[in-house]
Structure 1
Amino acid sequence: MIKRLLWLALLPMTAQAADDFARQWPLQLSQPDAGAYRVPLDASVYAAAHWRDLRDVRVIDADGKPVASAVYAAATPLSGPLRTVDLQWFALPVSAATADDDLSVVVQRDGQGKVVSIRSSVASVGAAGAADPVWLVDLGDEAGKLRALRVDWADAGATLDLGYRLEGSDDLRGWQVLDPQVRLVQLNNQGRELRNNVIKVETGLRYLRLVPLQRSGAPALRGLRGEMADLVDAGDWQWQELKADAGGNVKDGYFYSLKGRLPIQRLDVVMPANSAVSWSVFSRDADRPGADGSTPDWQLLTRGWNAWNLSEAGKQLQSAPLETTGTITDRQWRLLAEPGSVPSEAPLLRLGYRPGSVVFLAQGRAPYLLVVGSANVVDTQAALDPMLDALRARNGAHWQPAVATLGAGAVRAGEVAYQAAKAPRDWKNVLLWAVLVLGALAVAGFAFSLLRSSRVENKEP
């Protein structure tokens, strides 16, 4: 008996793997021999996914084996052609960039933040013997589009090698260093010229300043020009329109439920004609419990968002959608009217997103399936980035793998796939304990047998 239990304990413990994915979609390949494919994701895929990062979105071959695949967020909008514009700039004394509370310089701005004048109580900037000035640039509405600064000197033949520190700010108070040392060079030798008057810049900050690293030596500045690139929207926005859940009101707000964790980046509301309301917007999700450990806390996304709808001469005019800060993947949403705003009814909430995609390699046998929805997948994705980067370097930055489209979705394992698997029982330990107990009982029985036989021998004459 003991030998049999030991043999069972040493057997490899195997279990039949369950089908862990809730739903599946057949994939239709646009090219039969492309090698790599990209599958745009639709709302049904997001609704079926269990994890925020879509780790449970996979591709398998005809034999059910996983192939190399990776999930990617929507590509950022492409940059349009560069255009050059003259920038608004001002000269400041260098003390304005070195003193934290320099009251000798007053910067005047209008209601939109545009710098209109600078007053200084120190010696005139650019006067004989004065230190090199700081150059302040206001990008205005062009903020976020700048790709390079081009410096135009008044003396195009001057010899110079100058250093500057490039800084950026959104409020003219707190400044962050964008480049600790920018070199501007202009040299001439026997008819040959070495010139570097372009500063590469990519920032979303509105105000820039160039702080000289030397006391003097810079010639007069004729102007600063900016090389701008407008973002070209790909136009692939998708929208989910939600009705308010029951139980919402003006006091507590209106509540909305989204199926799936879509990558939301735009908000809009549909309200009755000739209405205007300022909203606070909140979101939350049950997988992020709040301070009490159970009910999740509402996260404030924006306050004072003014949405309006106006009917004028038979035309409907309305406010533009609100751009969110980052991507929101929560499933619960709340609109709360600001004090003084009285909505006549619960509005429709429209949530806009740009769908991501799955890139996979055509390994194994076709046809392929996209499988989605599992609480038990391991967080692993194929390292496809180096290959894709190399292909884009060879074929152009806009290159994409061949397209594969989703067929009709179907249930695979269903709701059971969303249940976390129970930790497997360690049968080896159970059997080993059983062996130890049986062994102890055998020893005890053997001892009892010896004791009994000893008593019998002692009773014999």
Structure 2
Amino acid sequence: MIKRLLVLALLPFSAVAADDFARQWPLQLSQPDAGAYRVPLDASVYSAVHWRDLRDVRVIDADGKPVASVVYAAAVPLGGAVRIAPLQWFALPAASVGGDDDLSVVVERDTAGKVVSIRNSVGAAPVAGSADPVWLIDLGGEAGKLHKLLVDWSDAAATLDLGYRLEGSDDLRGWQVLDPQVRLVQLRNQGNELRSNGIKVESGLRYLRLVPLQRSGAPQLQGLRGEFADAVEVGDWQWQELQAAAGGNGKDGYLYRLQGRFPVQRLDVVMPPNSAVSWTVSSRDEDRTRADNGEPVWQTLTSGWNAWNLSQAGKQQRSPSLETSGIVDDRQWRLQAEPGAVPAAAPALRLGYRPGSVVFLAQGRAPYLLVAGSADEGKAQAALDPMLAALRAHNGPQWQPAAATLGAGAQRAGDTAYQQAEAPRDWKNIVLWVVLVLGALAVAGFAFSLIRSSRAEKKET
């Protein structure tokens, strides 16, 4: 009896865990021995995932064991070849920098904001006894792409050790300190040379200026050059077109639901012909902050966005799509029209995204499967980014792992995978209590048998 109870108590430890992913896709490898592969994600994968960061997207081998992989929710631009180009720069007297730091009164710009001339400008060669000039740089359309600023002196053999303050601005009025002290060094000694003429730049501001920290000492400036690394976009735009839910209207807004965790980065509204409406676009999700009534809070993505559709001579012209400030992966969306401008019919909402990818290593036995969709929190992904960065540094910035593609998707565990797993029971304590109870029962039974035998002996005497 006791053995039978112990066996029943230990049965939970031998139970096999259920499959916890909703869907699966076979992976087809372009090269059998590449070692590392990259598989783009399609809409069916985004529709299956549960978590925002796609932690429930994994690659497993033929034995069902997970392999080292990393998931990129959206397409990551690749670094292009480094290029160096001359920069447009101007020399300003040091006295022009001070007070409220408003250079707009001395700088003349065209309608595009390009600096064309400066009043009271000075030459590149400092006059004896005068203060070192301030250098103003207009990056124009290259703003945000500059990685390093290179300073070239007319006298390559001059000895110098100069300090500058790097500042940036978008309007020539308000200036931000990007680096309080940069050193420009050019030294020679017994055939050895120490040269540092590069300044690292981490800013998207259009206008830069170098303000000298010393009164004098700078030789004539030959020019300023910029080191750029253009990003190469990967992946074409994909679109999800949503229809308004029943019951929506122009007053309260049209409601839409996105079936999946798509990395939305562009918005588009398909308007009826010959219409124009300004919209406020909002999104929300069940896992975001909730209001007092328990409803998720709407976050406004844009307001006053004018969308239009003009039909003329049999041709239609539409307003361009709008780019969001970042990735939005909410499921619920809302369009609200400005008062008095409700369209004749509910518009369609189009959400654009660039598909991400999964990079994995060919561990274990092939063939491999991509699985997705699980309420389980999962484990941390493999740290493959350092390895991929080293391979791109060695093979070129546009290097990519070998290609892999998704086969036809199939159901795996289905909707049960989206159910939160019950908290694990502490079977160790349960078994311990069972053993203690059974031991107590055994002791009580032994004591009861002794009492019965003792009574039987007294009756016989």
**Superposition TM-score tier, normalisation by shorter sequence:** 0.7 to 0.9
Per-residue deviation at 1:159? 5.1
Per-residue deviation at 1:42? 0.3
Q: Residues 93-130 of structure 1, C-alpha deviation per residue, up to 9 Å, x if partnerless?
A: 36735x5x46798467777666677779xxxx978755
TM-score, normalising length from structure 2?
A: 0.82
Answer yes or no: is the 8 Å Cα contact 1:90–1:137 preserved in 2: no
In structure 1, the residue matched to 2:331 is 331
Gaps of 5+ in 2: none
In structure 2, the residue matched to 1:169 is 169
Could you tell which deviates more after superposition, 440-449 or 213-222? 440-449
Q: Matched residues, percent identical?
A: 75
Q: Which amino acid aligns with 1:213?
A: L
Confirm or deny that 1:204 pairs with 2:222.
Answer: no
Answer yes or no: is the 8 Å Cα contact 1:84–1:227 preserved in 2: yes
Q: Which amino acid aligns with 1:277?
A: V
Q: Which amino acid aligns with 1:96?
A: V
Confirm or deny that 1:389 pairs with 2:385.
Answer: no
Could you tell which deviates more after superposition, 262-271 or 35-44? 262-271
Matches within 5 A, 1:3-14: 13-14=13-14
Answer yes or no: is the 8 Å Cα contact 1:160–1:186 preserved in 2: yes
Count how many residue pairs are aligned between Structure 1 and Structure 2. 455
Distance (whole Å) between structure 1 residues aligned to residue 262 and residue 133 of structure 2: 50
Per-residue deviation at 1:155? 7.0
Distance (whole Å) between structure 2 residues aligned to residue 338 and residue 221 of structure 1: 56
Answer yes or no: is the 8 Å Cα contact 1:6–1:432 preserved in 2: no
Per-residue deviation at 1:212? 1.4
Q: 1:452 to 1:365 in 2, by over 3 A?
A: closer
Per-residue deviation at 1:87? 2.0
Q: Which amino acid aligns with 2:140?
A: G
Q: Provide the secondary structure at the position in 1 that maps to 2:85.
A: strand
Q: Which amino acid aligns with 1:166?
A: L
Answer yes or no: is the 8 Å Cα contact 2:374–2:418 preserved in 1: yes
Answer yes or no: is the 8 Å Cα contact 1:58–1:66 preserved in 2: yes
Could you tell which deviates more after superposition, 302-311 or 189-198? 189-198
Matches within 5 A, 1:299-378: 299-311=299-311, 315-339=315-339, 341-378=341-378
In structure 1, the residue matched to 2:83 is 82
Matches within 5 A, 1:99-138: 101=100, 106=105, 129-138=129-138
Per-residue deviation at 1:47? 0.6
Q: 1:173 to 1:298 in 2, by over 3 A?
A: farther
TM-score, normalising length from structure 1?
A: 0.82
Answer yes or no: is the 8 Å Cα contact 1:85–1:228 preserved in 2: no
In structure 2, the residue matched to 1:401 is 401
In structure 1, the residue matched to 2:265 is 265
Q: Provide the secondary structure at the position in 1 that maps to 2:386.
A: helix
In structure 2, the residue matched to 1:283 is 283
Answer yes or no: is the 8 Å Cα contact 1:80–1:232 preserved in 2: no
In structure 2, the residue matched to 1:246 is 246
Could you tell which deviates more after superposition, 415-424 or 213-222? 213-222
Q: 1:225 to 1:381 in 2, by over 3 A?
A: closer
Distance (whole Å) between structure 1 residues aligned to residue 402 and residue 268 of structure 2: 33
Distance (whole Å) between structure 1 residues aligned to residue 63 and residue 14 of structure 2: 21
Q: 1:288 to 1:129 in 2, by over 3 A?
A: same
Matches within 5 A, 1:426-445: 426-437=426-437
Q: 1:147 to 1:447 in 2, by over 3 A?
A: closer
Q: Which amino acid aligns with 1:347?
A: P
Answer yes or no: is the 8 Å Cα contact 2:10–2:431 preserved in 1: no
Could you tell which deviates more after superposition, 45-54 or 427-436? 427-436
Q: 1:454 to 1:409 in 2, by over 3 A?
A: closer
In structure 2, the residue matched to 1:60 is 60
Q: 1:242 to 1:93 in 2, by over 3 A?
A: same
Q: Which amino acid aligns with 2:270?
A: V
Superposed CA RMSD in Å reads 4.1
Q: Residues 303-351 of structure 1, C-alpha deviation per residue, up to 9 Å, x if partnerless?
A: 2223333445655433332221121111111222245654343322221
In structure 2, the residue matched to 1:294 is 294
Q: Provide the secondary structure at the position in 1 that maps to 2:259.
A: coil
Matches within 5 A, 1:211-222: 211-219=211-219
Distance (whole Å) between structure 2 residues aligned to residue 164 and residue 187 of structure 1: 17
Q: Residues 142-162 of structure 1, C-alpha deviation per residue, up to 9 Å, x if partnerless?
A: 322324434466777765432
Answer yes or no: is the 8 Å Cα contact 2:375–2:418 preserved in 1: yes
Distance (whole Å) between structure 2 residues aligned to residue 367 and residue 412 of structure 1: 16
Q: 1:393 to 1:233 in 2, by over 3 A?
A: closer
Distance (whole Å) between structure 1 residues aligned to residue 193 and residue 165 of structure 2: 25
Answer yes or no: is the 8 Å Cα contact 1:166–1:209 preserved in 2: yes
Q: Which amino acid aligns with 2:19?
A: D
Distance (whole Å) between structure 2 residues aligned to residue 343 and residue 172 of structure 1: 43
Per-residue deviation at 1:361? 1.9
Q: 1:4 to 1:362 in 2, by over 3 A?
A: same
Q: Which amino acid aligns with 1:65?
A: K
Distance (whole Å) between structure 1 residues aligned to residue 79 and residue 402 of structure 2: 19
Distance (whole Å) between structure 2 residues aligned to residue 46 and residue 305 of structure 1: 28
Q: Which amino acid aligns with 1:82?
A: R
